[in-house]
Chains A and B, each alone.
Chain A
Amino acid sequence: MRIRINGDTHEVDVDVRTSLLDLLREHLGLTGSKKGCDHGQCGACTVLINGRRINSCLTLAVMHDDDEIVTIEGLGSPAALHPLQAAFVRHDGFQCGYCTPGQICSAVGMLDEVAKGWPSLVSEPGTDAVALTDEEIRERMSGNLCRCSAYPNIVDAIRDVAGAGA
């Protein structure tokens, strides 16, 4: 199968049972995406597929023929950080760093969902535009666990970037 990851095209031959996460980590050496549970319960493996966030442990690699995947390695580099990565530094948005790649990919996908006006559980019913309150950020990021609990600072970092983009 052919898969595009961070702008590069890879021709890979994988077992049909291989998850996208295992393809990234085990076959392509892209270890930035983390395995925290392998059950879609922690969000550490979150990547972007055609711009949408997804738990890469819960999807099979072979389902993504010709899809455009972006992982943490594709978002920014130490020399040129993505605005969210830079905001995580400014706001001390993590400690051990294990959940961080997933948090950042998830935040990128989440901000796009907000821009499109997709409502969440806590959105006011019937409104078209979503106001990105702290409550909205917390709800929309609640699928990404952080045991060090940098949550308050993660919320600050996301608000910072969202505000700058608005």
Chain B
Amino acid sequence: MKFGGHSVKRIEDERLLTGQGRYTDDIQLPGMAYGVTLRSPYGHARVAAIDTAAARAMPGVLAVYTAADVASYGGIPCIVPLSKVPTPRPLLVDTVRFVGDGIAFVVAETREAARAAADAIEVDFDELPAIASIDEAIADGAPPIWPEAGSNDLFLWSKGDAAAVDAAIAGAAHVTRLRIVQNRVAPTSMEVRAAVAEWDADAGFTLHAGSQGVAGMRAQLANAILKIAPEQVRVVTGDVGGGFGMKSFVYAEYALVMIAARDLGRPVKWTGDRSDAFQTDTHGRAMVTDGTLALDADGKFLALKAETWSDLGAYQSTFGPAIQTMAGGTIIGGVYRIPAIHNAVHGVITNTAPVDAYRGAGRPESAYTMERLVEAAAREVGLPVDEIRRRNLLRPDELPHANGLGLTFDVGNYPAVLDKAVQQSDWAGFAARKAEAARRGRRYGRGLCYYVEIAGGGGTEEFADIRVAADGRVEAAVGTQSNGQGHETAYSQVLADKLGIDIERISIVQGDTVRLDQGHGTGGSRSLVWGGGACLVAADELIERGKALAATDLDATDIDYEEGVFRARGTNRSTSLAELAAKHPQALDGRGRYTIPKPSPSWPNGCHVAEVELDPATGMVKVARYSIVDDFGVLMNPMLVEGQVHGGVAQGLGQVLLENIVYGEGAQLLTGSFMDYGIPRADDMPHIEFDTLGTPSPNNPLGAKGCGEAGTIGAMPSIMNAIIDALDGTQIEMPATPEKLWRVCRELAVSRAA
């Protein structure tokens, strides 16, 4: 039987369901010491003096590190700086630039002793002016956080034809303009970050940490921070309790536990608490956009112009500057026919936590800007929201289409996906549902989104290291990293089909640089396309090696392979994969490298339809109906895909309705716990009607398109558009909290009465 295309139950399930998962903090090693970071309570300050004597003298304390002690090490690298001015982020700082910046690292026999000692460190701060928002950062006369930059507007990136856009806007029949705020959100993986380091004079370092790819993390730790050969560092990632982009990055504690483990000659563990997570995990979104959409008299798009101020936080994070620019800024405009597009992005420095990739990493933000503009324009020119999209979506006969910002959309049937989604949502029944809600005194609205995303755009190759045991079991190590997506299952399906053997005979390994020192990790919805491709190459090469061995063993020139058996053509002589492996240990093993001559992303796309019901008396809003049709190309495991989509929708819904990271006066973090920062709960999630209408991707042998981030991209604009519709077109910004909605409902009631 074929496994691909079926909802094979997850291989990883039983381990995780019975408490046998192995997450980083579950690791207990003999003689292990514990580290705690002392963090800045100020948003911006100079450390005038630091006295660690009392802390060092406390019982159980083994070491105390300050900025001076780790000055010889490199900082956390930004891989894509867009500014000539470096914004170096040391492991520990003597000038703090956001609440949570690390000042000292204390290691003790127990976690409690380390905490008590961290409290005993005396620090004198000279406070500096702290900047909490984009507005303050770019205001006239704002003091620059990085003086050498001269301004907090650190860089300007732009793409597209500005002159053509301005000309089109000047001559347009209608122009829609919106200022759109995309609130700062926290990824909040349920597993907080943790790290355990060991050191051995011969073997070097071993670091256990949750990551989205061990090879990349090792390179940054060894080359940029510790300045040693990568071979001296082994990075191991066990089970990961969610990452969503945030766990792609190296954090100071990962290097600090390594340094301490070497200095002390014993294992050192650091586990953050939820407060550490809210303060120091990278945040997402955090931007303001002025968007302009020009239309002709028929509602056809003529030009799109966007100018965005993207809050980078206090430092340029690992991929931070790239998120609204190279990663997501080129897809603004979606799969619409738009003759002229221009996108300009300012990178702005503030005294806040660094901002980086969060589920979608720039693509949800671009889709949100575009889809808000589309529905505002439809309302202004009097077109239904489905019809304005129908008039502007690219038709299959117009593909491939170059969008003018460097992207070329290859295949798809966007109008058909739109029509299917509209039908699935019971479009015609909306008026009756709205009337029924009105009878109960409720407002009711519908919003739509047509999104496209760039999936797997970041990688140009991937690796799979395949082995066959003497019992015929096949094991592959793949250079991506599951954070809960079910990669072990999906890759097993790919290999089972390719090798024609039962899925039970396959196991997947990940997360250890000893087993696989190459690989580009997980991010940008790349894993199935690239990791799956690597599995196919590795399996093909395995079969070829097997044929060569079988040719000798069977004394034949032509060998055929099928379902785990090699046969000499035209004879009844055969040998199995297991027999070959037993007879020729390791001779079948090898590493496959998957690449394509012109690496190209896949273009998942789809249509979300949201309906919301709003109680004007309380401002409470519920997503009443939710319907999705996606084009993910060929599905490997529909169940896993649906799970990814549910999770993606929830994170989009959370940003629209609940989530908001707030920095107050003095750049103080006001939302540092789940009491202040709401994430979706079971009762916030609607039933989701989900189907697909796939056009296979031509850029990979599986025909697959990434699906990990699509749900978020579609959910943000569709739910917000539905709320705006329920408010008769009143434009409001995320998060649409009950208080905000109640106020708008009051104003609408008053203006109607007047």
Contact = CB atoms under 8 A, between A and B. Distances in A.
Contacts of B582: none
B10 A92 contact: yes
Nearest to B677: A41
Interface in A139-153: 139, 141-153
Interface string B1-27: 000000101101111111111010110
A76 B345 CA distance: 53
Interface in A77-108: 77-78, 81, 85, 88-90, 92, 94-101, 104
Contacts of A145: 190, 674, 679, 681
Contact of A39 (B10, B12, B21, B274): B274
A29 interface: yes
B680 A149 contact: yes
Contact of A85 (B18, B240, B486): B18
Contact of A98 (B15, B191, B273): B191
A2 to B, nearest CB: 23
Contacts of A73: 18-19
Interface stretch (B128-136, B219-227, B333-341, B643-651): B643-651
A147 B16 contact: no
Nearest to B483: A96
B674 A37 contact: yes
B189 A147 contact: yes
Given A142-B683, A147-B244, A33 B19 contact: yes
A151 B25 contact: no
Contact of B13 (A26, A88, A148, A153): A88
A23 to B, nearest CB: 14
Given A85-B18, A145-B190, A41 B675 contact: yes
A36 interface: yes
A81 B18 contact: yes
Nearest to A91: B639
Given A44-B190, A72-B18, A89-B14, A98 B650 contact: no
B679 A77 contact: no
B24 to A, nearest CB: 11
Contacts of A144: 682
User: Counting chain A CB atoms within 10 Å of each CB, which of B187, B242, B640, B687 scores highest?
Assistant: B242
Nearest to A103: B682
Contact of B240 (A35, A96, A142, A153): A96
B659 to A, nearest CB: 11
B55 to A, nearest CB: 20
Nearest to A97: B16
Given A37-B673, A44-B190, A81-B18, A97 B646 contact: no
B239 interface: yes
Contacts of A88: 13, 17
A154 to B, nearest CB: 7
B651 A149 contact: yes
B484 to A, nearest CB: 3
A141 B18 CA distance: 19
A149 B635 CA distance: 21
A96 B14 contact: no
Contact of B685 (A89, A90, A100, A151): A151
Contact of A97 (B241, B643, B649, B651): B241
A38 interface: yes
A96 B242 contact: yes
A48 interface: no
B716 to A, nearest CB: 14
Nearest to B7: A92
Contact of B190 (A77, A96, A139, A153): A96
A85 B18 CA distance: 8
B192 interface: yes
A33 B191 CA distance: 12
A78 B14 CA distance: 5
Nearest to A101: B19
Contact of A148 (B10, B192, B647): B647
Given A77-B18, A147-B189, A97 B12 contact: yes
Given A32-B18, A44-B190, A98 B241 contact: yes
B142 interface: no
A159 interface: no
Contact of B28 (A29, A72, A151): A29
Given A41-B673, A147-B190, A89 B9 contact: yes
B748 interface: no
Interface string A34-63: 111111011010000000000000000000
Nearest to B642: A92
A153 B649 CA distance: 14
A20 interface: no
A138 interface: yes
A89 B12 CA distance: 10
A147 B241 CA distance: 9
A139 to B, nearest CB: 5
B688 interface: yes
A119 B26 CA distance: 37
B188 interface: yes
User: Counting chain A CB atoms within 10 Å of each CB, which of B9, B17, B188, B639 scores highest?
Assistant: B17
Nearest to A136: B683
Contact of B646 (A36, A77, A89, A152): A152
Interface in B463-501: 483-486
A36 B244 contact: no
A95 B647 contact: yes
Interface in B626-641: 639-640
Contacts of B679: 145, 147
- Nearest 9 A-B pairs (CB), nearest first? A32-B19, A96-B484, A98-B241, A97-B16, A149-B650, A95-B484, A41-B674, A72-B19, A31-B26
29 contacts: A25-B25, A31-B26, A34-B190, A35-B25, A36-B191, A39-B675, A41-B675, A78-B18, A92-B640, A92-B643, A95-B643, A96-B240, A97-B12, A97-B484, A98-B190, A99-B241, A100-B16, A138-B683, A139-B683, A143-B681, A146-B190, A146-B682, A147-B187, A149-B680, A149-B685, A150-B647, A151-B646, A152-B646, A154-B682
